[in-house]
Structure 1
Amino acid sequence: MNIMDYLNGRFPTVELVPSIYYQWDIGIHFSLGGEIYQFKENDDLNLERFRLVYKQTSTIFNELFEQNDDLFFVTNVYKHKTKEKRTKKLKVYQPFLKCKNNLNRIQVKTYPYPFELDEAEEFEMQQFSLLCKREDIRVNELLKAASNEDFPLKPKFGRYAIDYPDVFFVNITKDIIFFVYDDRGCEVIAREADQIRPLYEKYYDWVQEVDRKRIEKGLGE
C-alpha cells in the first residue's frame, strides 16, 4: 500500500498539506502553549512555553497512536526545481529513524508547489512516506522538531531554500491523521467521530472557543 491509495480509500477529499482540519468534517484543532508567549521581556526565548508545547503534542500523539498501530510517516519537502536537484530525505528522516535500513523503504512522489506564491512554478513539493510502526521512529524528537519550526532550537529538520518541511502521522489502523504545524497548534482528523471524541472531551481546555462549534458539529455533539 502507498499513501495515495490509502488516502483515496479512507480520506478521499484530503491532501496532505497544512490545514487538514479544514479539509475534513471530523476533526479537532488544538491550540498549543497556553497563554505563554514565545519570548520573555528581555527577548530571550521562553523555554517554559516550548516545554509545554512538547508535552502537549506528545500527550496527544500517545492518545492517538498505540505501539502496534501501522502508520505512514509522511514528510513534505518544498524545494526549488533546478537549484535543489537532489532529494534530501536523509536530513528529515535519518535522525528520526531508529533503524537506518528503513531509509531504503521510503517512497517519494513530486507534486506542484501547493501554496500561493508569485513564482510558485519555480518550486515543487516532494512528498516522502514510510510505512512503519510507532516504535520505528523517534516520536518525541520528531514532535519537537515540528514545533521548533520558527525558532533556533534543536532538534530541527534540515533547512531548504523555501519553507520548513511538514510532517504528518497517518494512523492507518485507526484512520486518524495528526499534524503539528508549529508551536502554535496541531490538527487531528479521523474517519469516525468516535475515534477522537474522547480526545476532545479530555483536552477541551486546549481548544479555543472560536473552534468549538465547528468541532462539535463534526463530532456529533
Structure 2
Amino acid sequence: MLLNDFKNENFPNLELGPPLFYSWDIGIRFELGTDWRKEYVYPNNPYIQGCYKRVIALFEELHSPLDDILIMIDVNDFEKGKNIRSKLKNFPPYVEKPLLYKLNHQKMPYIFSEDDEDGAYKTHRFTLKCKTSDFKYIPLLKAICNQDMGIKPSMFHRVYFININKKTIFHVYDDRGCDLLATSPETIKDVYHKYNDWILDYDRHEIDKVFNNGFPYSTIECFK
C-alpha cells in the first residue's frame, strides 16, 4: 500500500494518531483558535473565522496545487462493523465522484477505550491519493474546525494530509490547533519563520530548539 510504503520510508515507527506532534522529533504545533468567548456559538463568529484564516493559510503554504497528497481519514467503528459503508459519505462533499474509485480501505487493530461498553473498537482507515487541486480543502478544513463548536458541517473523524512531494504530515485536531511534521527541519523552516507568532507557546521552547540548532530535540539531548 502506498501509505505504508511512504510512512515506512519517511516516517518509520510513527503511529498516525493524536497527539501527533509528540510522536516525532521534527515538527511544529500551531495554535488556531484565540480569544474564544462563550457567546461564540453561532456560525461565522469572530473566533471561528480566525481559526479558518489560520488553518487555510498554513495549508496553502504547505501544499501546492499540483502536489501529490494522501488524504487519510480514520473512522472509529463503535458499531462493530455495522453500516461502515455509510462512513464513506465523509469524502463525497470534498472530492469528485470518479476519485472515490481510488479510495483505499484498511481495517486497523483493535484499540481499547473506556468509552466503549465492550472495551474495544476498530478503526477503519480510508486513504485517497490525489492532487491538492483535486479536492475542496477549504470546506473540509472548516468542517474539522467546527467539530467542537456546534457548527455544521462538522468533521468528527481524524483527518491527515500527507504531502508525498514535500514529505510532510499536516493534522488539524480541532479549532484549538494543528500539527505539522517533516522529515527535515529545512523542509518547513520557512513556515516556522513566517508563522512564528502562531506557534503554541506551551511547546515553543522545544520547537525553537529544532529550528535554531538544526537538530531534533532528542538528538540535541544526546550531546549534553
> Normalization by structure 2: what TM-score?
0.87
Aligned equivalent of 2:168: 176
CA contact (8 A) 1:111 1:125 kept: yes
The answer to whether structure 1 residue 135 and structure 2 residue 133 are counterparts is yes
The answer to whether structure 1 residue 68 and structure 2 residue 60 are counterparts is no
Residue 114 of structure 1 deviates from its aligned partner by 4.1
Aligned equivalent of 2:185: 193
Seen in structure 2, the aligned counterparts of structure 1 residues 175 and 44 have a Cα distance that, compared at 3 Å, is closer
The answer to whether structure 1 residue 28 and structure 2 residue 28 are counterparts is yes
Q: Distance in 2 between matches of 1:7 and 1:22?
A: 17
Amino acid at match of 1:185: G
Q: Which blocks of at least 5 consecutive residues in structure 2 are unaligned?
A: 214-224
Residue 38 of structure 1 deviates from its aligned partner by 4.6
Q: Distance in 1 between matches of 2:115 and 2:146?
A: 27
CA contact (8 A) 1:17 1:114 kept: no
1:57-96 equivalent positions in 2, closer than 5 A: 57-82=55-80, 84-96=82-94
1:118-129 equivalent positions in 2, closer than 5 A: 119=116, 121-129=119-127
Q: Distance in 2 between matches of 1:94 and 1:143?
A: 15
SS at structure 2 position matched to 1:201: helix
Q: Distance in 2 between matches of 1:132 and 1:66?
A: 12
Please identify, of 115-124 and 210-219, the stretch whose mean Cα deviation from structure 2 is larger.
Answer: 115-124
Q: Distance in 2 between matches of 1:72 and 1:86?
A: 21
Seen in structure 2, the aligned counterparts of structure 1 residues 63 and 149 have a Cα distance that, compared at 3 Å, is same
Q: Distance in 2 between matches of 1:19 and 1:57?
A: 18
Aligned equivalent of 1:112: 109
Percentage of pairs with the same residue: 35
Aligned equivalent of 1:6: 6
Please identify, of 114-123 and 13-22, the stretch whose mean Cα deviation from structure 2 is larger.
Answer: 114-123
Please identify, of 193-202 and 180-189, the stretch whose mean Cα deviation from structure 2 is larger.
Answer: 193-202
Q: Distance in 2 between matches of 1:60 and 1:115?
A: 33
Aligned equivalent of 1:47: 45
Amino acid at match of 2:140: L
CA contact (8 A) 1:32 1:183 kept: yes
> Normalization by structure 1: what TM-score?
0.88
Residue 68 of structure 1 deviates from its aligned partner by 1.2
Please identify, of 51-60 and 118-127, the stretch whose mean Cα deviation from structure 2 is larger.
Answer: 118-127
Residue 113 of structure 1 deviates from its aligned partner by 4.4
Number of equivalenced pairs? 211
The answer to whether structure 1 residue 37 and structure 2 residue 36 are counterparts is yes
